[in-house]
Amino acid sequence: MTVDQLITTAVSDFEKAITHLKEEFSRLQVGRANPALIENIPVLMYGVSQPLKALASITTPDPRTLVIQPWDKGALAPIEKGIVGVGLGLNPVNDGVIVRISIPSLTEERRAELCKHVRKLSEEAKIAVRNFRQDAINKFKQMKADSEVTEDDLHGGEKKLQTKVDDANSKIDAAAQSKEQDVMTV
């Protein structure tokens, strides 16, 4: 494997970390109904834990309401129990046909908590990027020890890699800043 191939692999890993961060951001409750908020909640049905999206359709009839329509009416109670048990602070209402969830508007205190959580998630993504960078650097050094690359190739590869790390970190910062503005918008 060449230095450029290692850098390409590391960049691919950086993109995965950024994609994961954006998925986590989509799950945050920001006062608007979003199916991503609940679609992966585990629901114990038929003796097996399954994501909610495998048991029902989730729609948003208005900006503050989620409607969950299970394909099997027997899933209503387990879905309700799963939503309450996950600890998102949502109160599902089961009317015998569908489960309706009203998304409460956010208080200033909750907005501040969400901003802290956004910063925590972005820091975790940066840590993942640093770990991927360190793995690549260790592989560079191993290649140098095995005399597969020269000292100049090693330093050039590290500089290229650091440029890619800086790009990934700026994308993470931009996503976090955008999400914080989204959270603080009333």
Among residues 76, 111, 86, which one has the least CA distance to residue 68? 76
| Best CA proximity match to 60, nearest among 23, 31, 105, 101 | 101
List domains and CATH numbers for the chain. 3-26+107-184 (1.10.132.20), 35-102 (3.30.1360.40)
What is residue 30's three-state secondary structure? coil
Buried/exposed code over 142-153 (b: 16+ C-beta within 10 A; e: otherwise): ebbeeeebeeeb
Q: What is the pLDDT of residue 173?
A: 94
Query: Which pLDDT belongs to residue 67?
Result: 93
Helix ranges (DSSP H) in 51-184:
76-85, 108-145, 151-184
Q: In this predicted model, what pLDDT tens digit does every residue of 25-36 receive, in sequence order?
A: 877 766 677 788
Q: What is the pLDDT of residues 85-107, one digit of tens each?
A: 877 777 889 888 899 988 877 78
Per residue in 119-171, pLDDT tens?
Answer: 999 999 999 999 999 999 999 989 888 888 888 888 898 999 999 999 999 99
Q: What percent of the chain has pLDDT over 70?
A: 98
